[in-house]
């Protein structure tokens, strides 16, 4: 078996043979990601309606469904409506603290069966998955979700209908801006409270592997619903 | 197996593909569609051209300091509780993965689409070791049921009709199934959902690996990449050593152009960033994370003639635009990686001797360079390969004699002029309508092309006449 030392030695030996290559540099990284991230937030405090409109447009283009409500409480009838139209009842959800509020009792009152923090097989049996969002990227209509305690990976993956809640603090305009936040989240080099996975979700699961016929929901959800809450979810 | 048998010459493999009417239609439809989608995506993305240059420079910068970035990646993967393994050869990579499987007591492995694991022929090895490999990308699942290999880097089953797929599923499920893409997809979802929940081992490739954070990045549309990295107890990622990128900022540049080049999407549906095994407080995710770093001919090219091919993102854009690929499809190439870039990668993996025919399976038109998100100069390297193949005396003797003689002649103007005058006489029996349609000994050449006849007056003769006529 090749050891790390042997493997690296071979690479160094080959690199030593390269001569006269034009100098090249990687992309310029934010020197102070926190400052740049705050600058992006400050700009978006003004510009968010345009970014939100672009997000809606792009999300719809990739087959997602967009909703806009005033407060977190108004999310409940929207979720209940989605469930009713699809004859779905069983709902798995991120933990209330990660969602920004406990919608469980209200959802139950609307006839749903919420289950918090599911292990994989439970989520597989559920029809609806309710999550929060860490970033919503306007340029591509993408939802970025970090896993962690109270934020199972499978909530946005196993149920056929994924419903995600976000507010204006999650909005960014571009992939490049999202990159600043990714740099920020990793800046101290420590895992902190984050889980091991960050998922970028751009619309419902799709395939075109059979005669290029676009089909949704092959492994992941066949529908993605993004609900924008006007009042900031976390204070 | 319907994939190419390498004992048959390339020309015959290509010929068979061209006689396959369904394949011809499928190839035309698929590649034309992909070309259009890619063009629309870049037309709507003004920064695209600049980002392609930036991406290329990032690749170049990473390769120049690959030792440093790889050390950084390894350090970070280990810090987050992952294990890193090194494989110089496919056999070593297989042994590493089988050992991980054995220790985990694995009986089934779910796989997300990965060219690196195709390249090391992992599935056969898993089967022999008693671990059932299950391909979970729908296209890969189809070709696994058919016991074939992918015919396109991103659309592995474009050569199959829905009828053929329905037959394959029917045989697997032991009942008749409708030849309808939607119904077939639903069936596969159900079948594979079971397997995701059962499997002990999840095996993926890696589209990128971020050195600064120790993150392995997977890009999929179906969500199988997320399944494979969330549900089984052990996750093994197999990556070519060149897949390292320095930072998250760099990653964003590649993400902005990768899907647009591959399928014309702004972003693929799922981009999954995996930083080691599950963390404290997480109820899901693998307990073990292994990264297998694969050489298999790549390291030799860091200072080799195929160095640029190490920049490849495996998007498949060069396949779609290639006039040769569009005619013959992926299987005729006979190796893991088809298309123009595939010829270079095959030479990288198996040595130049393996592409003595394939090096010529290109018109050198350059459409691949224009389509490549990082502008890899594929024709330049194909010419280089042709030269190498010739130097190593792999080319047919007639070709070597002719090219050596022509090279000698071109360096001697007087003899060249004389040869032209002689050729003018000798060609007479063969010229019809100003072209040589067939030539003894050169039947292979003239079978598909005409050679223009040597002109009655050469350029140099006309030039000296013009000089005499034109007053100074």
At residue B265 the predicted structure's pLDDT band, cuts being 50, 70 and 90, is very high
**Are the beta carbons of A94 and A152 closer than 8 angstroms?**
yes
Question: Quick check: B373 and B261 in contact, CB under 8 A?
Answer: yes
Q: What is the ipTM of this complex?
A: 0.97
Q: Tell whether B40 and B62 lie within a shared domain.
A: no
As a whole number of angstroms, the distance between CA B64 and CA A24 comes to 8
Confidence of residue B472 (pLDDT cuts 50, 70, 90): low
What's the DSSP call for residue A132?
A: -
Helix (H) or strand (E) holding A128: strand A128-131
Indicate yes or no: CB of B282 within 8 angstroms of CB of A147.
yes
How many other C-beta atoms can be found within 10 angstroms of the C-beta atom of residue B1?
9
One domain, residues B60 and B77: yes
Same domain, B378 and B430: no
Q: What is the pLDDT of residue B2?
A: 42
From the list B471, B452, B472, B470, the residue with the least C-alpha distance to B462 is: B470
- With cut-offs at 50, 70 and 90, classify the pLDDT of residue B454: confident
Categorize the per-residue pLDDT at B1 as very low, low, confident or very high, splitting at 50, 70 and 90.
Answer: very low
**Cβ neighbour number for residue A148 with a 10 Å cutoff:** 25
Name which of B269, B285, B294 to mutate to probe chain A: the one with the most chain A Cβ atoms within 10 A of its Cβ. B269
Q: How far apart, in whole angstroms, are the C-alpha atoms of residue A189 and residue A202?
A: 27
Task: Say yes or no: B364 and B418 in one domain.
Answer: no
CB contact under 8 A, B213 and A24: no
> Which domain-ending residue is among B349, B366, B395?
B395
The residue of chain B nearest to residue A18, with distances taken between CA atoms, is B303
Tokens matching residue B240: 């070519």
Q: Is residue A204 part of a domain?
A: yes
The CATH number given to whatever domain includes residue B111 is 3.40.50.10420
Using an 8 Å Cβ cutoff, are A62 and A141 in contact? yes
Picking from A182, A3, A69, the residue whose alpha carbon sits closest to that of residue B255 is: A182
- Work out the minimum CA distance from B146 to partner chain A, whole angstroms: 14
Based on the domain organization, do B254 and B318 belong to the same domain? no
B58 and B16 co-located in one domain: no
Looking at the DSSP bridge assignments, the partners of residue A200 are A144, B271
Residue-number span of the structural domain to which B258 is assigned: 52-296
Please determine, for residue A235, whether its predicted confidence score (pLDDT) is greater than 80: no
Same domain, B289 and B198: yes
pLDDT band for A193, please (50, 70, 90 cuts). confident
Tally of domains within chain B: 3
Contact B204, B225 (CB under 8 A): yes
* Separation between Cα atoms, residue A95 and residue A22, nearest integer Å: 52
User: What domain range is A150 assigned to?
Assistant: 30-229
Q: What is the DSSP letter of A13?
A: H
How confident is the model over B157-203, as pLDDT tens digits?
A: 989 999 999 999 999 999 999 999 999 999 999 999 999 999 999 99
Query: Alpha helix locations (H) across B129-247?
Result: 138-145, 162-173, 181-198, 224-230
Rounded CA separation A66/A59 (Å): 7
Among the partner residues B230, B267, B283, nearest to A157 by beta-carbon distance: B230
What backbone phi and psi angles, to 5 degrees, belong to B200?
A: -90, -25
With respect to residue A126, please indicate whether it lies within any of the assigned structural domains: yes
Please give the C-alpha separations between residue A202 and each of A226, B149, B391, in angstroms, as whole numbers: 11, 29, 50
Would you tell me how many other CB atoms lie within 10 Å of the CB of residue B300?
15
B402 and B255 share one domain: no
Q: Do B18 and B96 lie in a common domain?
A: no
Selecting from B87, B184, B189 the residue whose C-beta is nearest the C-beta of A219 gives B189
CATH number of the structural domain spanning residue B350:
1.10.1060
- B252 to A175: CB separation less than 8 angstroms, yes or no: yes
pLDDT at B389: 81
On whether both B322 and B211 belong to a single domain, the answer is: no
Which residues of A fall within a CB distance of 8 Å from B249?
A: 26-30, 179-180, 183
Summarize pLDDT for B98-147 with one digit per residue, the tens. 999 999 999 999 999 899 999 999 999 999 999 999 999 999 999 999 99
For B64, half-sphere exposure in the C-beta direction (CA atoms, 13 angstrom radius) is: 14
Query: CB atoms < 10 A from the CB of A129, how many?
Result: 25
Does the predicted model carry a pTM greater than 0.95? no
| Number of structural domains found in chain A | 1
Specify the higher pLDDT residue, B338 or A189: B338
> Could you tell me if A115 and A107 are in contact, meaning their C-beta atoms sit under 8 angstroms apart?
no
Where residue A150 sits, what CATH number does that domain have?
3.40.50.10420
Q: How many CB atoms lie within 10 A of CB B351?
A: 13
My answer on whether B436 and B354 are in the same domain is: no
Task: Encode burial over B228-247: b for 16+ CB neighbours within 10 A, e otherwise.
Answer: bbbbbbbbbbbbbbbbbbbb
What DSSP character marks residue B132?
E
Identify whether A165 is part of a domain. Answer: yes
Across residues B220-243, what is the average pLDDT? 97
For chain A, the residue count is 235
């Amino acid at each position: 078996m090749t050891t790390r030392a042997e493997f690296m030695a071979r690479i160094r030996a080959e690199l030593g043979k390269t001569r006269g290559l034009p100098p090249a540099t990687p992309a310029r990284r934010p020197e102070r990601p926190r400052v740049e991230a705050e600058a992006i937030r400050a700009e978006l405090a003004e510009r968010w309606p345009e970014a939100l409109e672009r997000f809606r447009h792009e999300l719809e283009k990739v087959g997602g469904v967009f909703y806009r409500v005033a407060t977190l409480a108004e999310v409940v009838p929207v979720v209940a409506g989605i469930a009713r139209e699809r004859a779905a009842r069983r709902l798995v959800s991120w933990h209330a603290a990660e969602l920004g509020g406990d919608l469980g009792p209200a959802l139950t009152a609307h006839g749903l069966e919420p289950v918090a923090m599911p292990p994989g097989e439970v989520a597989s049996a559920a029809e609806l998955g309710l999550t929060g969002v860490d970033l919503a990227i306007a340029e591509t209509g993408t939802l970025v979700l970090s896993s962690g305690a109270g934020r199972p990976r499978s909530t946005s993956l196993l149920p056929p209908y994924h419903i995600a809640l976000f507010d204006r603090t999650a909005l960014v305009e571009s992939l490049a801006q999202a990159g600043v936040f990714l740099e920020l989240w990793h800046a101290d080099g420590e895992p902190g409270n984050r889980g091991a996975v960050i998922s970028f979700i751009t619309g419902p699961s799709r395939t075109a592997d059979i005669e290029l016929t676009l089909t949704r929901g092959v492994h992941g959800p066949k529908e993605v619903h993004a609900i924008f809450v006007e009042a900031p979810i976390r204070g | 197996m319907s994939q190419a048998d390498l004992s048959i010459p390339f020309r015959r493999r290509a010929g068979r593909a061209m006689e396959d009417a369904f394949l011809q239609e499928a190839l035309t439809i698929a590649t034309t569609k992909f070309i259009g989608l890619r063009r629309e995506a870049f037309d709507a993305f003004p920064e695209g051209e600049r980002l392609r240059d930036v991406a290329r420079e990032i690749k170049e910068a990473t390769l120049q300091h690959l030792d440093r970035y790889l050390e950084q990646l390894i350090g970070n993967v280990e810090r987050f509780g992952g294990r890193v393994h090194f494989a110089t050869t496919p056999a070593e990579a297989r042994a590493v993965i089988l050992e991980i499987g054995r220790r985990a007591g694995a009986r089934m492995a779910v796989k997300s689409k990965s060219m690196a694991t195709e390249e090391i022929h992992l599935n056969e090895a898993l089967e022999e070791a008693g671990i059932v490999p299950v391909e979970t990308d729908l296209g890969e699942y189809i070709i696994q049921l058919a016991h074939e290999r992918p015919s396109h880097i991103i659309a592995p089953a474009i050569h199959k009709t829905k009828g053929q797929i329905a037959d394959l599923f029917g045989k697997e499920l032991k009942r008749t199934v409708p030849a309808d893409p939607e119904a077939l997809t639903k069936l596969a979802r159900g079948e594979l959902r079971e397997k995701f929940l059962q499997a002990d081992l999840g095996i993926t490739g890696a589209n990128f690996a971020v050195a600064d954070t120790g993150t392995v990045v997977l890009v999929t549309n179906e969500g199988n990449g997320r399944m494979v990295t969330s549900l089984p107890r052990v996750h093994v990622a197999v990556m070519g050593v060149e897949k390292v990128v320095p930072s998250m900022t760099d990653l964003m540049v590649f993400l902005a152009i990768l899907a647009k080049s591959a399928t014309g999407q702004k972003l693929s549906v799922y981009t999954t960033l995996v930083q080691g095994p599950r963390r404290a407080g997480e109820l899901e995710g693998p307990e073990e994370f292994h990264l297998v770093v694969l050489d298999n001919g790549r390291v030799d090219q860091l200072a080799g003639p195929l160095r640029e091919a190490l920049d490849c993102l495996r998007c498949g854009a060069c396949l779609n635009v290639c006039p040769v690929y569009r005619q013959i499809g992926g299987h005729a190439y006979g190796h893991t990686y088809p298309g123009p870039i595939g010829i270079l990668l095959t030479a990288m993996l198996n040595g130049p001797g393996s592409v003595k025919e394939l090096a010529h399976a290109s018109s050198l038109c350059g459409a691949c360079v224009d389509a490549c998100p990082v502008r890899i100069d594929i024709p330049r390297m194909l010419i280089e390969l042709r030269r190498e193949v010739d130097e190593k005396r792999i080319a047919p003797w007639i070709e070597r004699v002719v090219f050596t003689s022509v090279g000698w002649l071109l360096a001697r103007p007087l003899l060249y002029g004389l040869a032209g005058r002689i050729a003018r006489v000798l060609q007479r029996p063969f010229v019809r309508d100003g072209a040589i349609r067939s030539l003894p000994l050169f039947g292979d050449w003239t079978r598909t092309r005409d050679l223009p006849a040597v002109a009655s007056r050469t350029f140099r003769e006309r030039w000296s006449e013009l000089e005499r006529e034109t007053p100074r």
